[in-house]
Structure 1
Amino acid sequence: MQNSAEYKFDLKEIPKEQRPREKLIKYGPDVLKNGELMAVILNTGYRGETVLELSHRIIKEYGSKAIVQEKNVGRLMENLGIPLVKACQIVACFELGRRFFKEEPGRFPTIRSPEDAYRYLEGMKKLKKEQFRGLYLNTRNKIIHDEIVSIGTLTANLVHPREVFQPAIEYLAAGIIIAHNHPSGDPDPSEDDLKVTRQMTKVGKTMAIEVLDHIIIGNERYVSLKDKELM
């Protein structure tokens, strides 16, 4: 159980004209920024951060696309330094949204080239931590699922094939595009990047689920290992 003494701020302590909840009631959700909407969900701050400060930090550090896809409560707690109840609120909120809009037409694009994949993943260039993602495609190269596989420095030990291919089995994917960012800004592949790529490609051949590409994202450019003939 969380210690209530750690929750030092709530929405009522913010000046009335700045309160996200009051803005939501008066103007509707369209006028609220992402951080303000997150503040309505979280309701209180934590350990010296106001709820707005906490909300903006969560989105900035994790990335808006990444946090929408995150399903692991423990990982969210560890990476953001937030308590269990807040991690649960975030995961439950976005899971509900995913379920409501799972069948929404056009929600996921068709990937015809490395450039298409980069456009979809471009937001990763702003992330402060290295993140490994899997894009799961059907036979028409349309994304049917997008999952964060791991967060942290990419190594063959950190990224296990089981975690990459389990969603492919679950969603009946025909192919996978793996991707990760380099917070340093330089997308040139490291030896670990190449090792992980070879490992995933080998497992994909065994399972008849093709690893179509590995996209590495830097600040202003990206590298496709398929284009570079490195896989």
Structure 2
Amino acid sequence: MSFYRIKDLPESDRPREKLLKLGAENLTDAEIIAILLRTGIKGKNVIDLAREILIHFKGIEGLSEASINELSHFKGLGKTKAITLKAAIEVGRRAGKTKEKRKIDSPEAVATLLDHLKYEKVEIFGTVTLNIKGELINIHNITKGGANFSHISPKEVFHPAIKDLAVAVIFFHNHPSGEPAPSKEDIYITEKLTKAAKLLDIEVLDHIIIGRESFFSFKENNLL
């Protein structure tokens, strides 16, 4: 069986070279995972394998919660790679304890936080909850797979924010088509939920739509 290694990729697509040139903070979640995995599997390069892992485990957060057994049974991982991933995640967890909470102060910061959504094949709508300092509290997926979420209940959307004692939220969803431009339904639901948020004394800071190559900010485009 032949394996696809990072060095088998075109140089412009190699995450190690990108890390050296641009810094680790400018790599996507998939590229970081690919560096840890080192090799893909027959018929699938390491970047594609990393993307599938992120989709299966619902991003870095889900990956961090998976057990060694769950990871090692994913096709293309095995026990050795599963252990490598768990060790790397633990390093990040311990390092995070020594730092301040992550501040979300721009649409770019939100898009980076939700980078894994660009690989989803179904639409996911959710909220990012923030404290009074603009720091991340949590990420909540509210709906998944619906073709139209215009009838979503404000109660369903804001329940997690109330539970988090959040003072502000950022709505988000992805467009599996890859094009981030908002639809009429996207604009409608944003207006509807923003009105509901005012009654709860929760500030809506933005609504970010994640596309394949870019994102759309309601705030930056004067739609909020």
Give TM-score scaled by structure 1 length.
0.57
The change in CA–CA distance for 1:187 and 1:161 in structure 2 (over 3 A counts) is same
- 2:205 is aligned, of 208, 212, 219, to 212
Over 3 Å counting, the alpha-carbon distance change for 1:155 and 1:60 in structure 2 is: closer
Confirm whether residue 60 of structure 1 aligns to residue 61 of structure 2. Answer: no
Report the secondary structure of 2:197's partner residue.
helix
Tell whether the 8 Å contact from 1:114 to 1:215 is kept in structure 2 after alignment: yes
2:219 aligned with 1:226: yes
Distance 2:211 2:194 in 1: 22
Aligned match of 2:171 in 151, 154, 178?
178
CA distance in 2, matches of 1:63, 1:160: 23
**Does structure 1 residue 133 correspond to structure 2 residue 136?**
no
Distance 1:32 1:115, change over 3 A: closer
Q: Aligned pairs, how many?
A: 152
Of 120, 136, 140 in structure 2, the residue corresponding to residue 143 of structure 1 is 136
C-alpha distance in 2 between matches for 1:65 and 1:198: 30
Q: Deviations over 1:159-183 (max 9, x none)?
A: 3211221111111101000100000
| Paired residues for 1:72-83 under 5 Å | none
Gaps (5+ residues) in structure 2?
1-34, 38-50, 66-89
* Residue 160 (structure 1) aligns with: 153
Gaps of 5+ in 1: 1-30, 34-55, 71-96
**In the alignment, is the contact (CA less than 8 A) between 1:136 and 1:176 conserved in 2?**
yes
Inter-CA distance 148–198: structure 2 relative to 1 (3 Å threshold)? same
1:223 counterpart letter in structure 2: F
The 8 Å contact of residues 130 and 138 in structure 2, kept in 1 or not, is answered as yes
**RMSD value, Cα:** 3.1
Cα separation, partners in 2 of 1:32 and 1:122, compared to 1, 3 Å: closer
CA distance in 1, matches of 2:98, 2:141: 22
User: Secondary structure of the equivalent of 1:134?
Assistant: strand
Q: Secondary structure at the match of 1:185?
A: coil
CA contact (8 A) 2:182 2:209 kept: yes
Cα offsets for 1:51-77 (capped at 9, x unmatched): xxxxx967535632474599xxxxxxx
Is the contact between residue 61 and residue 128 of structure 1 (CA under 8 Å) also seen in structure 2?
A: no
CA distance in 2 between counterparts of 1:227 and 1:172 reads 26
Deviation at 1:146, TM superposition (A): 1.1
Change (3 A) 1:69 1:136: farther
CA distance in 2 between counterparts of 1:162 and 1:69 reads 29
SS at match of 2:111: helix
Secondary structure in structure 2 of the residue aligned to 1:179 = strand
Amino acid of the structure 2 residue aligned with 1:60 = I
Structure 1 runs, 4 residues or longer, greater than 3 Å off? 56-63, 65-70, 103-108
Compute the displacement of 1:105 (Å): 5.1
Quick one: percent identity of the two aligned structures?
Answer: 36
